[in-house]
A and B are shown apart, each in its own frame.
Chain A
């Protein structure tokens, strides 16, 4: 029998770098909808980050502390510049501002419980303070945002500190967003908005423009609270060196710098990925600004945006931060992006619900939809039951404790009795980019790019 030669057709799979599948997808989506994509979480692209730094543990030239015997202090004081009652924390790891509205009331309660147990603070968000979070959180920072939703003098007096929010890392220069699915009757009531509308909030404060005005605004908040409460100023990381200096001039007690990895519940993707600078670069600029003004240690620095691990915390502190704030890591500890949720004593698969949103566990950034499969970023009466505040609080407590143990382990290895004694000299960088941004030498060299040899 005659055999025919078999011909294999060569299917070309040469992907374009500029027009890769992600870009094709983006263009198709834009063409189909005529609207930019809005999503949750933070920047997903690869950025220089704390992983690009390593510690130089003690050996011959320095003396380490015994990991399990010798004390390593983590106490943290914030707001010592002008406030009569500074914030005292047991650990330098705080919970970042996230609104009731973006999060369910159950989650707000869980955050407060866990933070109170480990001795740290939580922060309100764009949408006011709920009684649940004031009750559950011993130390509560009250945000004053451009929208002023639900902002009122009673809560100012009830708060332990006030944070004037100029911007956030996910969208420096942008205002808040909350899509209609999440503007429930309660959320709408707190924000004085019609129920179910797609809320767009202001990006500028209504009653001040510029740093000279801000100085007067801060003084107003001090007068209202009889100079008791620390005033924080939060900026999204962009021109951080100048912004931090201006915030100091405006009279801030504490400056919060949120890098571009910082999360959001709903923001345009183009904003999340393309506006702002990485946290690593922002910390260096912020610390330089404080040192330039001789304000290091007098005005405290809180760093946020992609702080995930105890090592990240240690590196932020070594670079000069006084504390960190965590948002996304906290949500993940509560079950965000998990395959299952825990309800009525059993685990249930959430996969079908992720699929219904057009994603899968591990890839979810759909906080803006209000249909969080694990009951975190939702106002839906059924979905929110998927998060039990007590169970969630326990997970978060474990997470915070783990970070703190890792932090002290590293500090001891570097010979520090106090985590706040970690210093830039304890760090080197693994990449030239990180060395340049963080201002520490490339490992094995004395070279800090931009500083000569």
Chain B
């Protein structure tokens, strides 16, 4: 398989993305290296083939957004909305990620080795997220399906208005959001966490994690419940 290099200091972003949407699909190029990303937004968005993309440096907003089947690695940090609405494949951030990482991801795996900002995994719809560090407040807000593994700590209101997504946290949780609750870890949970940690390449003991899921008390309008959101 061929390897290609795009230098964003010399080539416009549109050229890179257009190649990744069209030329890459021919299957001759297996690996693309992106140099000098310099925080550019929308790098490698909307990919739809199993190509490997390595962004050497820091990416701006929405890196790897709406990814399908591709593997996007960012050696530096990523801006807001990394891997937003990912369908499948993998996005791996070696550094930190800003707000809304993995927002509404329907599938695939997002790995953030460092910390993630606010609202990590918001509206998650089936994707998996593994964060090596800590996550900010309102993470997993309204998360519908999928799993989040947080190796560090979580901020305020973790899992607020959760639907069916499940969260696993190793460190401390500043506070749980409305309708989120701790539940006992089953053997199945331990196996799931171990497998995700393994896929992320992070060494932690799966047994050290706590499970958080929805109380499901907000699933139906209830006149007798005081609105305690």
- The interface of chain A, by Cβ under 8 A from chain B, is 33-35, 147-148, 151-154, 156-157, 179-180, 191-194, 197-198, 200, 202, 206-208, 213, 216-217, 219-220, 223-227
Contact = CB atoms under 8 A, between A and B. Distances in A.
B221 A35 contact: yes
Contact of B123 (A148, A179, A219): A148
Interface in B203-224: 218-221, 223-224
B172 interface: no
Given A192-B125, A226-B18, A207 B104 contact: yes
Interface string B65-107: 1101000000000001100110100000000000010011010
Given A35-B221, A148-B85, A223 B42 contact: yes
Contact of B103 (A154, A192, A207, A223): A207
Contacts, number: 110
Contact of A206 (B13, B22, B123, B220): B123
A413 B161 CA distance: 57
Shortest 9 CB-CB contacts between residues of A and residues of B: A224-B46, A207-B81, A34-B223, A206-B103, A148-B104, A153-B66, A207-B103, A206-B122, A207-B100
Given A206-B119, A223-B17, A213 B66 contact: no
A157 B46 CA distance: 9
Given A151-B104, A206-B104, A216 B66 contact: no
5 contacts: A34-B224, A148-B85, A151-B104, A192-B125, A206-B100
Interface in B154-173: 161, 163-164
Contact of B14 (A35, A151, A223): A223
Say which size band chain B's interface belongs to: 35 or more
Contacts of B126: 192
Interface of B: 13-14, 17-18, 21-22, 41-42, 45-46, 48, 60-62, 65-66, 68, 80-81, 84-85, 87, 100, 103-104, 106, 119, 122-123, 125-126, 141-142, 144-145, 161, 163-164, 218-221, 223-224
Contact of B66 (A35, A156, A191, A227): A156
Contact of A220 (B14, B45, B87, B122): B45
B64 to A, nearest CB: 11
Contacts of B17: 223-224, 226
Nearest to B220: A198
A224 B64 CA distance: 10
A220 B104 contact: no
A355 B51 CA distance: 59
Nearest to A148: B104
A329 to B, nearest CB: 30
A153 B108 CA distance: 14
A196 to B, nearest CB: 8
Contacts of A192: 106, 125-126, 144-145
B219 A198 contact: yes
A153 B123 contact: no
A224 B104 contact: no
A153 B68 contact: yes
Given A206-B100, A220-B41, A147 B123 contact: yes
Given A151-B104, A206-B104, A223-B46, A213 B87 contact: no
A180 B14 CA distance: 44
Contacts of B22: 226
A152 B46 contact: no
A216 B145 contact: no
